Amino acid sequence: MKYLLIMYVDHEMWEGLTADQQLSAFQGDGDFDRLISETGELVESKTLSDPITAKTVHVRDGVPSTIDSPVHKSDAFVCGYYVVDVTDEKRAVELAGLMPDAAHGAIEVREVLHESGPVNAWSQWPV
């Protein structure tokens, strides 16, 4: 089963960490990467740019418009993600708890319903 582990961080909290604490978090990320690579659970990992660089696109009446802003303005923002392939949700949650970002922010765990091709995932959503 594949899960998306979404990393959230807060600018103010991150800026409040010492340089040593920030370095430790980065080193912990490297250790986590090695762990899930060695276990074969890592599918993909990406780090995202600061939301200040985000663009949001809306299409209304067939006309696209763009604003220089993330969809949701919040103190916490998505800073990156992992896709892991694990035996079950319990293991995905266990891995999320091992991530250094969990100590300084939050990790959201969500099952991947589909990867590509025609989308019929909506049928799995509760109404």
Lowest mean pLDDT among 25-29, 39-43, 70-74, 100-104: 70-74
**Fold designation for 2-114:** Alpha-Beta Plaits (3.30.70)
pLDDT band at 117 (very low <50, low <70, confident <90, very high): low
> What does the pLDDT look like over 46-76, one tens digit per residue?
989 888 899 999 999 999 999 998 887 777 8
| Boundaries of every domain in the chain | 2-114
Question: Per DSSP, what are the bridge partners of residue 105?
Answer: none
The helix or strand, by DSSP H or E, that contains position 25, with its residue range, turns out to be helix 19-38
Per the confidence metrics, is the pTM higher than 0.75?
yes
Q: What is the DSSP string of 62-119?
A: TEEEEESS-SS--SEEEEEEEEEE-SSHHHHHHHHHHSTHHHHSEEEEEE----SSS-
Query: What is the pLDDT confidence band of residue 124, given thresholds at 50, 70 and 90?
Result: low
Structure tokens at 75: 């103190």
Stretch 82-93: mean pLDDT, rounded?
97
